[in-house]
Amino acid sequence: MPPSLFSNCMDMCRFTHRNDSALVKELQEKIFLQKAQETTKLNLQLPDDEVPVLCAALPYFGNLDVVIIRDTKLGCEGARRIVESGSRHIHLDACQLGDEEALAIAAALETSTGVDQLTLRHTQISSLGVEALRAATKIFGAVCINLDEQKISGGVAQSVGPTSSMETTDTLRNLSFVSVETPPSPPPRKSNESSLAASSPNGDA
């Protein structure tokens, strides 16, 4: 819990003995700030009333590399704060994300250049949200969207399953944006390599 929220909670407490609230606040702030700076990964499942606490605490975590949130109703504010946290790898699974949350994430992505990989699973995002997210990923070198069994790269849809169809898919199940570098082209094959490729498994032409 960030120091400001902890201080408010302490102010509402009644002590039966000598009031040591100032000392407790000081100690809590010191420990919280130390732990926040040491933390590089968050893996959380939160009740609804703790999402605002997470939103208030995230700015203190300056060295986050991975954020994983599962089975948590984040809302637009929670989703936006996570994208803006500075974490390079973000995984949100079953966080009740719909088009409103997708638009909030897209807006955050446009100004948050630190995100390398964003994975959204088990969402209620429709094609409207998908297009907003795809437009926001101009900051990435390449974009790969996994929509149920369909893989969409750029503006071309490639079916990777026997029943994959953009027209029959109304909601988004799995969405993955991955920043990748284009690998260098392989050197041209020599003539003897070409003949080996056509050989039988026993090495006989």
Query: Please, which residues bridge with residue 172 across strands?
Result: 125
Output the pLDDT for position 199. Answer: 44
Query: Please, which residues bridge with residue 69 across strands?
Result: 44, 92
Number of helical H runs and strand E runs in the chain: 7, 8
Q: What is the rounded average pLDDT of the residues 151-166?
A: 34
Amino acid at 152: I
Band (72; pLDDT cuts 50, 70, 90):
very high
**Rounded Cα distance, 64 and 45, in Å:** 17
Band (116; pLDDT cuts 50, 70, 90):
confident
Summarised one tens digit per residue, pLDDT across range 15-66 is 555 566 677 677 777 787 888 888 999 999 999 999 999 999 999 999 999 9
Note every long-range contact of 159-163, with CB atoms under 8 Å and residues 24 or more positions apart, other chains counting: none
**Beta pairing class for 172-178 and 156-159:** unpaired
pLDDT greater than 70 at residue 114: yes
Percentage of the chain lying above the pLDDT 90 cut: 25
Show the domains of the chain with their CATH numbers: 3-7+40-181 (3.80.10.10)
Handedness of CA 112, 113, 114, 115 (dihedral sign): positive
